[in-house]
Amino acid sequence: MFLRERVFGATLLGLTTIIYPQISEAEGFSGEDLLKWDEANQNSYFWSSVTMAGVIASQNRREAARCIDEWYSGNDRRREERNQLIRKTMQKYPSHNPQAVIFAIIRKQCGRLFE
C-alpha cells in the first residue's frame, strides 16, 4: 500500500508539473515569496515537496521514505504541526529556496534521501 500511494503521488505531481507552469522554479523564488501566498497554497506546496521527497527516498532509502511518511502524513493535526514548522523555518531563512528549506528539515528528521 505504501509504495502504491507513493507511485500515485509521483504520477499526480508529474501531471501537475506538465499542466501548470512552475513559479517555484523561477529564478530568485524564495521563502519570502512563498510566504506571501495564502496559507492553503503554502500547505499545498509543502505537501507536494514533502511527497516528492518521499518518492525520491522510496527509490533509494526505504527507511527514510517510511520516516517521512510517519513524520508528515500521520494525521491532519500532525501535518498542520509540520506545516507550521516549515513556515517558521522559512521565516528564519526567507532568502533561501523553499524546497531547499523543506529538504533540510526532512534531512534533519529522517536522514539522507539517497545513498
Q: What's the DSSP call for residue 25?
A: G
- Please indicate whether residue 98 or residue 22 has the higher confidence score (pLDDT): 98
Q: Is the model's pLDDT at 21 over the cut of 80?
A: no
Buried b (16+ CB within 10 A) or exposed e, 88-112: ebbeeeeeebbbebbbebbeeebee
The 10s digit of each residue's pLDDT in 72-82 is 987 889 999 99
The 10s digit of each residue's pLDDT in 38-50 is 999 999 999 999 9
pLDDT band at 34 (very low <50, low <70, confident <90, very high): very high
pLDDT band at 6 (very low <50, low <70, confident <90, very high): low
Cell of 93: 531563512
Q: Could you report how far apart the first and last alpha carbons of the chain are, in Å?
A: 24
- The rounded distance, in Å, linking the Cα atoms of 10 and 49 is 11
Domain ranges of the chain: 2-6+34-110
48 Cβ contact partners less than 8 Å away, ≥ 6 residues apart: 13, 16
Count the neighbouring beta carbons within 10 Å of the beta carbon of residue 74.
12
Q: Is the model's pLDDT at 83 over the cut of 90?
A: yes
Q: Is 111 left (phi over 0), alpha (psi -120 to 50) or beta?
A: left
pLDDT band at 104 (very low <50, low <70, confident <90, very high): very high
pLDDT at 87: 98
Q: Which amino acid is at 88?
A: K
Q: Is the model's pLDDT at 20 over the cut of 50?
A: no
**Displacement of CA 73 from its chain's centroid (Å):** 11
